[in-house]
Amino acid sequence: MGTVVHVGLSSDGIDAAAATLVAIFIIGLFYVVAAPAIAFRPTSRSMEFLARHADHAGLWMSLPALVACGLVWNPKMLAVLLTAMAIELAWYVRRRRAGGRRSLYRLDDHDLAVLKRQAGGNLAVFGKRHGIRELEINANADAWRGCTKESAPCPFNLYVNRLGLNTAPCCREHLAELCRYVASQLSELNFVYWLDGGTLLGAVREDGSLLKWEDDVDLSVLLQDDASWDRLVAELGACCQRDGFSCDVFAKEGYLTISYDPPQAWPLLYERYRMRGEIRLDLFVYREADSRGSAVVERRHYKASMPETESGGYGVARDIVLPTSTITFLGEEYSCPGRPVAYLEQLYGDFRKVEYSYVDDSAAQTRRSLDVEDQASGTS
């Protein structure tokens, strides 16, 4: 709104035409940029089309920009349009350069079986319809052009949470690396931490593995004594900046997110929100408290079926979590709640029952039928 007002005001009065054209341009560019997020759920064909071509769709706005300049001459409007197109060009160039930095991964039998089932057997059509560029279709159709730290990430939120695929092998590796990194930094900084949420669920239910459709890593940290929020933000943030990870702070909600992709300067700071996927670790903070006469550890942000505490937070009995224990996860030892089974029961009830939470119900039904067949045959 401020940009529109700035363009519309001049020493000669109000340039309503320029302000209107800039407003229309900004709205159009917003929809182009937001298309990948909007199309996370099934939507219109036009939005799906923009999402599939998100790498360069922003450059298409250069034509409306030229038309606007031809209709009305306004130096401020020209500056706004040129700046917007320069940002879109920078985005396009970065994506093109990052596209050549991928590595070839082999899809294992289960990854491939899930992919084929969701595709209805026609991988080529399925890949084209959903813009799955990472899939290398050959005689065996078992190759995946996977992401690296130097490339853009796979849009795996789309693949996992909407299409019902397994997490790509490259993304599994990066999630594991991010978990190791943050856990080791917390240990070195003398913070008490533990595996939480779906990560702990994988460690317990899947015998130390990631859930096959995992889309993030969940850790929690206890704030006490000198292990304060400010110290956590400052010292862990400095570690992430030093080692090439992005760290975003959500003080009001009481958590941090650490992302696998390196941080970018403005105006590319928020570009990862256009990529339909993000290798991310959520780190939630807990504090010790009393609730209804019992000692608890509580957090601000709601999680699954975690009980509400007297103060309005969410938590569990202190003796379920502390002192922490250890558990084997991805071949290494990590801290976990002292009673991990009781902890998971507080979060999920019958946590051994698999729940399907895809945004597309047809993908959930297909995945459910495949998993039932796997259980019947003794495979996983």
Instruction: Taking residues 18-29, report their average pLDDT.
Output: 88
Nearest CA to 228 among 258, 184, 189, 194?
Answer: 189
Residue 193: predicted pLDDT:
98
Residue 39: predicted pLDDT:
85
DSSP string of 98-115, one letter each residue: HHTT-EEEE--HHHHHHH
The β-bridge partners of 221 are 193, 285
User: Are residues 306 and 347 in contact, defined by beta-carbon separation less than 8 angstroms?
Assistant: yes
Between vectors from CA 115 to CA 111 and to CA 116, what angle results, nearest 5°?
A: 120
Residue 5: predicted pLDDT:
63
Residue 269: predicted pLDDT:
62
- At residue 223, does pLDDT exceed 90? yes
**Residue 377 CB neighbours (<10 A):** 8
Which range has the top average pLDDT, 12-16, 54-58, 106-110, 328-332?
328-332
Distance, in Å, from the CA atom of 217 to the CA atom of 204, rounded to the nearest integer, reads 15
Residue 118: predicted pLDDT:
94
pLDDT tens per residue across span 326-372: 999 999 999 999 999 999 999 999 999 888 878 888 888 898 888 88
pLDDT tens per residue across span 311-330: 999 999 999 999 999 999 99
Band of residue 85 on the pLDDT scale cut at 50, 70, 90: very high
The pTM for the full model equals 0.86
The β-bridge partners of 336 are 325
Residue 220: predicted pLDDT:
97
Residue 178: predicted pLDDT:
95
335 or 30: which leads in pLDDT: 335
1 or 307: which leads in pLDDT: 307
| DSSP state, residue 305 | T
Distance, in Å, from the CA atom of 360 to the CA atom of 42, rounded to the nearest integer, reads 7
Q: Provide the mean pLDDT of the chain.
A: 88
Beta strand spans in the chain (E): 9-10, 13-14, 103-106, 135-136, 143-146, 192-195, 217-223, 246-250, 255-259, 280-291, 294-299, 314-317, 325-329, 332-336
Question: Residue 361, SS3?
Answer: helix
269 or 192: which leads in pLDDT: 192
Residue 141: predicted pLDDT:
54
Residue 19: predicted pLDDT:
84
DSSP string of 41-105, one letter each residue: S---HHHHHHHHTTTTGGGGGHHHHHHHHHH---HHHHHHHHHHHHHHHHHHHHHHHHHTT-EEE
Question: What torsion, rounded to 10 degrees, do the Cα atoms 181, 185, 191, 193 define?
Answer: 0
Fold of 169-348: Beta Polymerase; domain 2 (3.30.460)
Between vectors from CA 318 to CA 317 and to CA 322, what angle results, nearest 5°?
A: 135
Residue 73: predicted pLDDT:
85
> In which order are the strands placed within the sheet that holds 103-106?
103-106, 143-146, 135-136
Instruction: Taking residues 232-243, report their average pLDDT.
Output: 95
Instruction: Taking residues 59-83, report their average pLDDT.
Output: 89
Residue 139: predicted pLDDT:
62
Q: From residue 201, give the alpha-carbon distance in Å to each of 12, 52, 218, 271, 359.
A: 65, 33, 10, 31, 21
Lowest mean pLDDT among 31-35, 82-86, 151-155, 230-234: 151-155
Question: What torsion, rounded to 10 degrees, do the Cα atoms 192, 198, 203, 206 define?
Answer: 180
- At residue 138, does pLDDT exceed 80? no
Residue 271: predicted pLDDT:
64
CATH 3.30.460 positions along the chain are 169-348
- At residue 132, does pLDDT exceed 70? yes
